[in-house]
Structure 1
Amino acid sequence: MKTNKYYFNEKILNNEYLADYFIKTKTIIEKNRPDSKITMQFFQRTENAVLSGMDVVIELIKFACKNFEELEILALPEGSIVNPLEPVLRITGKYQDFGFLEGMIDGVLSRMTSVATNSARIIQAAGGKMVLNMNDRADIYFNQAFDGLASYHGGMRNFVSLAAIEFIDDLRVKKPSGTMPHALIQAYNGDLIAALHDFEKTYPQAPLVALVDYNNDCITDALKCCQEFKDRLKFVRVDTAKNLTDKSLQNIKPLKNQELNGVSIELIKKLRISMDEAGFNHVKIIVSSGFDAKKINEFESQNAPVDIYGVGEAITKPVASFTGDSVLLNGQPQAKFGREFKESTRLVRIN
């Protein structure tokens, strides 16, 4: 069995991940035009996209192409900033040696570049504050390793699952850490204090983090936790659903364009003031639930006293879609109208 660090499935070698027309095209060309050489280039249409997935693509070609050494491959490095219509990858060789992988290459680059680009935008919006990648809950589990790597290319360094850091080779990236789920509080019949006591006894080395939105009364519950655990409490986390308004804000009439539902700026400011006035200014605030680059920008522009942002589904939102085009035939221009060969001085020889 052929193996590699990305665990490519043997079904790839049996064409099971290929669209049928790629299989038919490979068969026709191999039978009737076996010596023709094509040049294929790949691009996308998003401004300032963060390229990710190129190393995976090169390994995929090595895995699936029996004549890999005969291919000429030029590519941009991981993490490159790319713009619309700019070639990021160019491959020259016989179609039957690589061209059938067009759709799979598009998919890898589209997914991973989208994740990297979203991650970079989120990190930029956070302005140096910690961002916790909580994408495990937002997508199917077997994407975690590739999404984690792509998110890393976008600048994220904090993750919640071991799978998310499997492909990341960087000692600066620490082992995953997390807080507590609502399920732990529920298991203690809604008794947050009791749940925290047992959390602390079971994991004495882990920072103590109170999830304070279980009763939709964040400030009351945060202050109870502060008073119970004093200096041992390091963080409170607010994860209020966007269809709810915390009890502390329900009698407030919102100003024009002011949001009070969910994890709102007003709620976090009120929470910070309440903890500071009670003498617990050392307790930091983590927020999650519906955060993306836009929402983080809003919080930062209004100086919301957030210390850590937890982000999930916004990380994998598709924003970059790649297309592969055959642009040269035996070294001569031959391409679909509007998809002609584009020169690039940035491409680096890979093979």
Structure 2
Amino acid sequence: MRFLRCLYIHGIMLYMMKEIDLKLQGKIKRLTNNTFKFDERVGEGWFSAVYFLKSCEIAEKYKPNNIVTMQFFQKNHAVLCGTDEAIALIKTFAKEPKSLEVYSLKDGDKIAPYETVLTITGPYQNFGFLEGIIDGILGRRTSVATNVYNVAKAARVSGIQKPVIFMGDRDDHYTQQAGDGYAAYIGGSTAQATHAMNEWWGKQGMGTMPHALIQLFEGDVVAAAKAYHESYPNDDVVALVDYNNDVITDSLRLAHAFGDKLKSVRIDTSQNMVDKYFFKHEERLGRFDPRGVNAKLIFALREALDQEGYHHVKIMVSGGFNTEKIKSFEEQKVPVDMYGIGNSLLKVNIGFTGDNVILNGEPQAKTGRKYQPNARLEKVDD
């Protein structure tokens, strides 16, 4: 299997626009139970808060015939994700899952604060121990999906979607890659760094070259790119150009060496570094922060490539990008063609709550909470 397959940039743009539209129209098919790899200890209560386990034991002993409805909600405008995973969890580990009636929204649905996204009705002892796990699934997946959606939205200008590549492999525990990759896909990223990130939605990882490859060739980015191209001749030539902290010089060297074969260059300048361009052109310094990947540097790179006839070479940026920085770049019309983002997309900033709100067909909930019916919920088949 090839390592980190590169994708053709214009193809990504068109594909992403189509996929985002499909997701927002709620046309993404539900994932099946076979998609997920759960730890079998979930069924033993190993991952459940002990008070839930004890409550299930008490319910079984004293109130075995009670039927409760538990509803789940959160407090933000968000893009929902994790419902398929939560449903699969219920079907896999709930006691007598066919005794439960489940209604749910779909992954990719836009949701409002306090909107009910999932309800479970049945004997409490059959599913109550899963409450905290479901909260965690929905919270993490929805956070990532919403983060990516906001970034993708910021990178969509005049109806054209600039690709957002999910590069979160180094910012999180590897066991989370499949779920976070799927959540990123739901949010609007259809290009991701590892195969695991693509596992649930059926694609392969993509990428260019790391700094480590250039280091092996003693900092010679052209030699590294040639070795890459000779090893993967069917891949587009997309080269990392900040290794020597001289992105314009190295981009032009690559363009001279590869000509039309050079599809894109990626700039990943450290946020505590100032590119050599500004030392060569101090007159271009002004009231802005020249460190890292900044607008002035990208404008200068685009100008240098165009002046020598390399209009076809696209520019990808990464390192420290989030929604606010992308918005700033797009407002300034910085000539970026793709964004690579990692850490900022993995912030878990949305929390879900599960509440018992109906008991034996009658309203019964803690003060301040009540049953919130939602006509958008769909019944989940057994």
TM-score, normalised by the number of residues in structure 2: 0.87
Q: CA deviation at 1:76?
A: 0.8
Question: Identity of counterpart residues, as a percentage?
Answer: 47
CA contact 1:46–1:319 (8 Å) conserved in 2: no
Find the residue that maps to 1:121 and give its secondary structure.
helix
Structure 1 residue 244: deviation in Å? 1.1
> 5+ residue gaps in structure 1?
none
43, 48, 51: which one aligns with 2:80: 51
Q: Residue by residue, what CA displacement relative to the aligned partner does 1:129-178 show, whole Å, maximum 9, x if unpaired?
A: 11111112221111111111111111221122111111115xxxx53221
Equivalent in the alignment of 1:121 = 150
Partner of 1:73: 102
Change (3 A) 1:254 1:191: closer
Is 1:271 the counterpart of 2:304? The answer is no
Supply the distance in 2 between the matched residues of 1:85 and 1:254 (Cα, whole angstroms). 48
Per the TM alignment, residue 254 of structure 1 is displaced from its structure 2 partner at its CA by 4.7
Once structures 1 and 2 are overlaid, which stretch shifts more, 111-120 or 29-38?
29-38
Query: What is the 5 A alignment of 1:298-317?
Result: 298-317=328-347
Partner of 1:144: 177
CA distance in 1, matches of 2:34, 2:235: 35
Is 1:155 the counterpart of 2:188? The answer is yes
Measure the CA separation in 2 of the matches of 1:37 and 1:210. 60
- For 1:145, give the aligned amino acid: A
User: Residue 278 of structure 2 contacts residue 285 of structure 2 at CA under 8 Å; is this kept in 1?
Assistant: no
Report the equivalent of 1:106. 135
Classify the secondary structure of the residue corresponding to 1:85. Answer: coil
SS of aligned partner of 1:244: coil
Q: 2-side partners of 1:249 and 1:113: how far apart?
A: 41
What residue is the counterpart of 2:363 in the other structure?
Answer: 333
Q: TM-score, normalised by structure 1?
A: 0.94
Match among 310, 320, 334 for residue 290 of structure 1: 320
1:41 match: 71
Q: Which amino acid aligns with 1:98?
A: F
SS of residue in 2 equivalent to 1:4: helix
2:57 matched residue in structure 1: 27
RMSD, aligned α-carbons: 1.4
Q: Which has the higher helix share?
A: 2
Q: Which amino acid aligns with 2:234?
A: Q
Q: Take 2:248 and 2:278, find their aligned partners in 1: how far apart are those partners?
A: 10
Q: Given that residues 75 and 347 in structure 1 are in contact (C-alpha distance below 8 angstroms), is that contact kept between their aligned partners in structure 2?
A: yes
Provide structure 2 residue ranges, at least 5 long, that are not aligned to the other structure: 1-32
Contact 1:213 1:240 in 2 (8 A): yes
Candidates 222, 225, 228, aligned match of 1:193: 222
Tell me whether 1:322 sits opposite 2:358 in the alignment.
no
Runs of 4+ in 1 over 3 A off after TM superposition: 252-256
Does structure 1 residue 238 correspond to structure 2 residue 260?
no
Equivalent pair of 1:237/1:288 in contact (CA under 8 Å): yes
Give the partner amino acid of 1:151. A
The question of 1:16 aligning with 2:49 is answered no
| Aligned counterpart in structure 1 of residue 119 of structure 2, from 74, 90, 96 | 90
Shift of 1:118: 0.9
- Report the count of equivalent residues: 343
